């Protein structure tokens, strides 16, 4: 039960959190079931139920990290749905808008890719190695697999603020004068627009088919459990598709 809670903000898969029954073991268990063609659900109406060798769930038996968090947030209600309603009622509403009522049905889950943990190299002001080009938020490689929950949002907020402070104090507030380069700018933009228009009438690959190919390849060869040779093959296929 403690690891189910911890998975909420230790959600990136981390091989070092498999040993000693840590939270990333959940990813392995869910993945194994789906590989067998089974479906996995989270039931917010009932507390976790163990096997016959385990005692009944008692929220007071949670590990210190989980229990203290719930206690500090006032989320010691009887059932998971009550605790979720107290901490994050918006989540319940979002699922309901998508046809899933957590008050009456379980939520199907799987190990899914959300976004990369890498990104552009930036300095402490979120400036990339391209002068005067700043990359903030999840596109910057400023956080990794062990970051705490919410840091993707925080990276956007903190990165944006620090980038703005640097720009104002180092580069100044005056916008550069590009009037002498306007003709070249217009030409380049025109070429880009023309290229997009050509794509519309192109007889090449269908965008939906390409997207499905990318998704399928990533699922098969780029997931949290992968073979090195398969990943190399998938990379070559991706490069060929890009060409």
Closest C-alpha to 12, from 119, 154, 84, 115 = 115
146 has pLDDT over 80: no
pLDDT of 117: 65
Domain end call among 73, 92, 109: 109
Q: Quick one: tokens of 56?
A: 């009944």
Residues 154 and 229 in one domain: no
Q: pLDDT for 65-88, tens place per residue?
A: 999 999 999 999 999 999 999 999
Residues 212 and 150 in one domain: no
Closest C-alpha to 75, from 83, 67, 85 = 83
- For the chain, the C-alpha Rg in angstroms (whole number) is 24
Residues 7 and 105 in one domain: yes
Q: Rounded distance, CA 93 to CA 100, Å? A: 9
Residues 12 and 102 in one domain: yes
Residues 9 and 102 in one domain: yes
Residues 211 and 146 in one domain: no
Residues 45 and 87 in one domain: yes
Residues 133 and 168 in one domain: yes
- Structural domains counted in the chain: 3
C-beta separation of 102 from 95 below 8 A: yes
Q: pLDDT for 147-206, tens place per residue?
A: 666 677 788 888 999 999 999 999 988 887 888 999 999 999 999 999 888 877 767 778
Q: Rounded distance, CA 118 to CA 133, Å? A: 18
Show the domain range for 47.
Answer: 2-109
C-beta separation of 48 from 34 below 8 A: no
Q: Rounded distance, CA 182 to CA 189, Å? A: 10
237 has pLDDT over 90: yes
Domain end call among 132, 153, 176: 176
Crossing angle between the packed helical segments 89-97 and 80-87, to the nearest 10 degrees: 100
pLDDT of 223: 83
Residues 34 and 124 in one domain: no
Q: pLDDT for 78-120, tens place per residue?
A: 999 999 999 999 999 999 999 999 999 999 999 887 666 668 8
Helix, strand or coil, per DSSP, at residue 42: strand
Residues 214 and 128 in one domain: no
Helix, strand or coil, per DSSP, at residue 123: coil
Residues 156 and 212 in one domain: no
Residues 68 and 91 in one domain: yes
Distance of alpha carbon 90 from the chain centroid = 18
Strand partners, 140: 120
Domain end call among 144, 176, 208: 176
């Amino acid at each position: 039960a403690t690891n189910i809670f911890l998975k909420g903000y230790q959600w990136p898969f981390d091989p070092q959190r498999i040993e000693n029954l840590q939270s990333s073991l959940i990813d392995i268990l869910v993945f194994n079931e789906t590989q067998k063609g089974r479906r996995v659900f989270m039931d917010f109406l009932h507390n976790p139920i163990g096997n016959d060798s385990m005692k009944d769930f008692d929220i007071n038996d949670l590990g210190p990290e989980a229990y203290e968090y719930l206690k500090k947030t006032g989320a010691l209600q009887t059932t998971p749905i009550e605790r979720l309603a107290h901490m994050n009622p918006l989540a319940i509403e979002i699922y309901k808008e998508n046809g899933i009522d957590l008050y009456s049905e379980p939520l199907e889950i799987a190990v899914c890719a959300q976004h990369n943990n890498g990104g552009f190299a930036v300095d402490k002001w979120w400036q990339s190695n391209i002068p005067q080009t700043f990359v903030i938020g999840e596109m910057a490689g400023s956080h990794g697999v062990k970051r705490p929950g919410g840091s993707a949002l925080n990276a956007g907020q903190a990165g944006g603020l620090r980038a703005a402070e640097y720009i104002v104090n180092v580069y100044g507030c005056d916008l550069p004068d590009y009037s002498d380069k306007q003709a070249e700018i217009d030409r380049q933009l025109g070429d880009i627009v023309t290229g997009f228009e050509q794509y519309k009438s192109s007889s090449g690959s269908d965008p939906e088919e390409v997207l499905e190919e990318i998704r399928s390849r990533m699922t098969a060869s780029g997931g949290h459990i992968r073979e090195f040779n398969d990943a190399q093959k998938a990379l070559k296929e991706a490069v060929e598709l890009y060409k």
